[in-house]
Structure 1
Amino acid sequence: MTKGSALIIGVGPGLGLALAEAFARDGHPVALFGRDAARLDKYASELNAEGRTARAYSVDAADPEGLEAALKRAADEFGSPEVLVYNAALMSPDTPTELDAREFAHTLAVNVTGAVVAARTVLPLLRDGRGSLLFTGGGLALDPSPEYTSLSVSKASLRAYVQSLHKQQQGSDVHVTTVTVGGSIGGDNPRFSPDKLAAAYLNLHQQPQDEWQAELLYT
């Protein structure tokens, strides 16, 4: 049976690209979403050269209308999706007493509101009403940092949203999970290499339904 597409939002040179590669090599057509059109085109071309199916969609996750339109366009071009991965994030240092209101709002727009828009858009498009909605969380949701306040608040908010969505979708054929990454992606610990993390996302998508969970604590 032909696999449905995987929509990967937030594709850059680290985890985002590894996610696109993992799902493409598993047989899913992949749609790559991000702001850097040239970089996305390069990644899609490389995957296509391997015999995979990939397309690039340049969009800002902070633009709700643009993100919704891009996701629907990908569904039109690839057919009904099977997987959504929301990996977009802004990670700027800031403190509780020095937050700039506009920058804080923009961070939340990328890190949280974009995830809400993506989920709301993709849910009714899922192939046969079944599939996986996977979100990249972070350990700052559990242990906030005063040096990365907006990121901490964002990850806590995203975690709450995804767990709420998971509860709403229980009993359906939609697997909703956040991957709470408790380490530095691409750092010295090989467990947190982008490829190994991407394999964990793919494994979540392939889990039997009786093993579905609201959160994977990846530590």
Structure 2
Amino acid sequence: MDTTRPPAFFVTATDTDAGKTTISAGLLAAARQRGLSTLACKPVASGSQHTSDGLRNDDALWLASQCSIQVPYAHINPHAFAPAIAPHLAAASAGVRLDGRELLADVRRILAHHAGLTLIEGAGGWRVPLNADETLADLAIALQLPVILVVGIKLGCINHALLSAEAVLRDGLTLAGWVANCTDPHMACQADNIHTLQQWMPAPCLGVIPHLQSTQPAALVPHLEPALATLLA
């Protein structure tokens, strides 16, 4: 890790609903227990709800709840859209064109706080489009942050994980590690799938998160504390 700047990571996943926000919130909670300041940003979020304060996204609110540095909601989630569809389509339905340079400025505003741990959470997987020319991967490349890959452990996850890892590395970024998030409690050969990933993935397994009754950040801390120690080493 570059020790000249506070730890910051870009969090992506193998797919939608793999558990990026759950893992991110858990890592932030673990960092807070260590006495570190925390901050996060979800630059783009679709599937947001209309409130008296404007559009609010549940994932962004979940991240905000674990940020010790208080900033306006619009800094944590500068681009929120109502439809629960791909971000570029949700933006288009609102008459907005997402722009990578604007998103980069949004994230740099968060990084400028120099929190003890900062997490930048993507949307969906690695190649989610922002517009006709850019994807969220382009934002990660511009940021040059190491990447945490959340792997939703379900049927098909091996291929999804290996392709995602390959794409991250091909884009010239560091894959800091991956987290196995056991989203399907009924998956056949779950342990064997995780073992196969541990053999094939070109980065360390930061942790295996079992299917938990509670996904509250505090419940994840015992499972993610070793991951945090590895990321901060």
- Normalised by the size of structure 1, how large is the TM-score? 0.50
Q: Which has the higher helix share?
A: 1
Higher relative contact order, chain-length normalized (CA < 8 Å, sep 6+): 2
- Normalised by the size of structure 2, how large is the TM-score? 0.47
